[in-house]
């Protein structure tokens, strides 16, 4: 996420930090490069211009030029202004304290509305303990209803599909036939449409008039950059759009849509989709996103995920073992499975502020499968005391697990590296299971 802009900004900040003294000329040069980096990342031209103007006003003041660490102070100003452009604070979704909350999802074709509808229902079910119903009002795309039904069934979410009626009738019938006492939230999935398609936009307005939604969320594909920004603005002219969900953020290396959309459309980003599974939907946090864009470590996001997945008693045991040096391959095996539940190891390691982690290389989901097989092929004594694993034992383990001796050696090396890494992490106190 944001690889392109991260690299450009990192180079700019690194160059600025090498200056003996920060002057107005230094800052002007740096801001010119920042503006270019924003435009290359597909940030809206006016947004980039306004952003640079605001940073300039702050950066040439006494706050930066007279700072003990002016280059760091300059980065701090950049980060604060970027957070401001992204929305300052997280925008909560509006859930009624009593009665049913109705959410209408709208947007262009192919942005991921149907998947997002299920993701949102799963999120509200998991995070807010709300019982959700999906209404399948996308009658244009042949596979839309089946897709919604399949994903919903897999995750225990109720769906109203109706018969082969038009979208307006489906919504009308769905709302009239459903016992509102059974559901807290109703999410309406609509067909993708262009804002210039008058017939379909009129249909959307009818659906909105009938359902009287508490939230109209515009679903946009982050990878389309300025198209996502402009379409969110035009949809807002026809409907009372209350917020935005940006999908495919995990594949967006530029970041232009995320930076521009709030400033251009005036609508807050409420959620981002950052993966393909139903759990890959997270509340949009402007401060956290600014850190990601600037290449700063996003420990907060990692800790929030870790809190969800980690068993505190098991984690405390592991931490104690790390401190007394008894952490072994059995513990390592359990830890790998827990890490994998949080997200890919590669993503996780990038979030952590510990030097030297990248030298470990990638540890992805497939590797965890064969690492698990290798450890299962070891004797209990070998798992508990890895130092005894000599050449002949490694050969036997490789044959037993169906892997190569090289892979066995690689696992043992990574065990040693992760053991060292976790000691460093523990010293920094960034994990949620600090037992001290």
Within a domain: residue 222? yes
For position 416, what pLDDT does the model report? Answer: 83
Q: Are residues 164 and 35 in the same domain?
A: no
Token pair recorded at residue 354: 């510990």
Within a domain: residue 229? yes
Within a domain: residue 355? yes
Going by the DSSP 8-state scheme, the letter that residue 275 receives in this structure is S
For position 347, what pLDDT does the model report? Answer: 53
Closest by CA position to 178, among listed 268, 82, 77, 99: 99
For position 343, what pLDDT does the model report? Answer: 53
Residue showing tokens 């109209």:
216
Q: Are residues 278 and 409 in the same domain?
A: no
Q: Are residues 112 and 258 in the same domain?
A: yes
Q: Are residues 41 and 118 in the same domain?
A: no
- CB-facing half-sphere around the CA of 348: CA atoms within 13 A: 24
Within a domain: residue 296? no
Within a domain: residue 48? yes
- In CATH, what number is assigned to the domain containing residue 69? 1.20.120.140
Residue 225 region by backbone torsions, left for phi larger than 0, else alpha for psi between -120 and 50, else beta: left
- In CATH, what number is assigned to the domain containing residue 374? 1.10.260.30
> 51, 86, 121: which is the final residue of a domain?
86
Q: Are residues 149 and 264 in the same domain?
A: yes
Q: Are residues 379 and 283 in the same domain?
A: no
Q: Per-10-residue mean pLDDT for the chain, 436 residues long?
A: 78 79 82 90 88 87 63 82 86 86 91 92 92 90 88 92 84 82 90 77 90 92 80 83 89 76 87 87 88 67 54 60 74 73 54 44 67 92 91 94 92 82 58 38
Q: Using CA atoms in the order 62, 68, 69, 74, what is the torsion angle rounded to 10 degrees?
A: -10
> 291, 317, 347: which is the final residue of a domain?
291
Q: Are residues 143 and 194 in the same domain?
A: yes
Instruction: Determine the structural domain holding residue 341 and report its residue range.
Output: 303-428
Residues forming a β-bridge with 137: 190
Q: Are residues 384 and 324 in the same domain?
A: yes
- CB-facing half-sphere around the CA of 8: CA atoms within 13 A: 20
For position 353, what pLDDT does the model report? Answer: 43
Token pair recorded at residue 221: 């594909």
- In CATH, what number is assigned to the domain containing residue 146? 3.40.50.300
Closest by CA position to 4, among listed 229, 255, 259: 255
Q: Are residues 9 and 118 in the same domain?
A: no
The domain tally of the chain equals 3
Within a domain: residue 353? yes
Q: Are residues 57 and 172 in the same domain?
A: no
Within a domain: residue 436? no
Within a domain: residue 56? yes
Q: Are residues 260 and 282 in the same domain?
A: yes
> 229, 259, 291: which is the final residue of a domain?
291
Q: Are residues 269 and 332 in the same domain?
A: no
């Amino acid at each position: 996420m944001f690889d392109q802009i991260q690299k450009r900004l990192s180079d700019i900040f690194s160059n600025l930090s090498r200056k003996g003294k920060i002057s107005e000329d230094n800052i002007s040069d740096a801001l010119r490069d920042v503006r270019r980096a924003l435009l290359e990342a597909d940030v809206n031209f006016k947004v980039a211009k306004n952003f640079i103007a605001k940073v300039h006003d702050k950066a040439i003041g006494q706050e930066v030029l007279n700072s003990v660490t002016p280059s760091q102070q300059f980065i701090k100003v950049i980060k604060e202004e970027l957070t401001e452009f992204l929305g300052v604070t997280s925008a909560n979704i509006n859930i009624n304290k009593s009665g049913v909350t109705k959410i209408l999802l709208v947007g262009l074709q192919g942005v991921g509305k149907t998947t997002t509808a299920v993701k949102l229902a799963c999120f509200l079910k998991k995070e807010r303990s709300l019982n959700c119903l999906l209404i399948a009002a996308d009658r244009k795309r042949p596979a839309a209803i089946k897709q919604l039904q399949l994903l919903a069934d897999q995750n225990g979410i109720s769906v109203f599909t109706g018969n082969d009626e038009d979208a307006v009738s489906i919504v009308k019938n769905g709302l009239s036939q459903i016992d509102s006492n059974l559901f807290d939230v109703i999410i309406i999935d609509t067909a993708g449409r262009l804002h210039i398609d008058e017939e379909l936009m009129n249909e959307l307005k009818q659906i909105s008039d009938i359902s009287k939604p508490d939230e109209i969320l515009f679903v946009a594909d982050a990878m389309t950059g300025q198209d996502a920004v402009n379409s969110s603005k035009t949809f807002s002219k026809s409907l009372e759009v209350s917020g935005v969900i940006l999908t495919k953020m995990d594949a967006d290396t530029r970041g232009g849509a995320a930076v521009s959309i709030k400033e251009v459309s005036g609508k807050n980003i409420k959620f981002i989709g950052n993966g393909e599974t139903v759990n890959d939907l997270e509340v949009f946090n402007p401060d956290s996103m600014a850190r990601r864009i600037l290449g700063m470590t996003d420990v907060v996001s990692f800790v929030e995920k870790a809190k969800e997945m980690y068993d505190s008693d098991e984690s405390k045991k592991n931490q104690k073992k790390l401190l007394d040096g008894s952490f072994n391959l059995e513990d390592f095996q359990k830890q790998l499975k827990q890490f994998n539940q949080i997200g890919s190891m590669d993503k996780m390691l990038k979030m952590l502020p510990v030097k030297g982690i990248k030298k470990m290389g990638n540890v992805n989901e497939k590797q965890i499968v064969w690492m698990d097989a290798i450890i299962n092929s070891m004797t209990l004594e070998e798992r508990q005391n890895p130092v005894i694993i000599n050449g002949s034992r490694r050969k036997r383990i490789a044959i037993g697990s169906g892997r190569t001796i090289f892979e066995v050696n690689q696992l043992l090396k990574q065990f040693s590296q992760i053991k060292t890494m976790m000691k460093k992490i523990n010293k920094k106190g960034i994990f949620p299971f600090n037992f001290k």
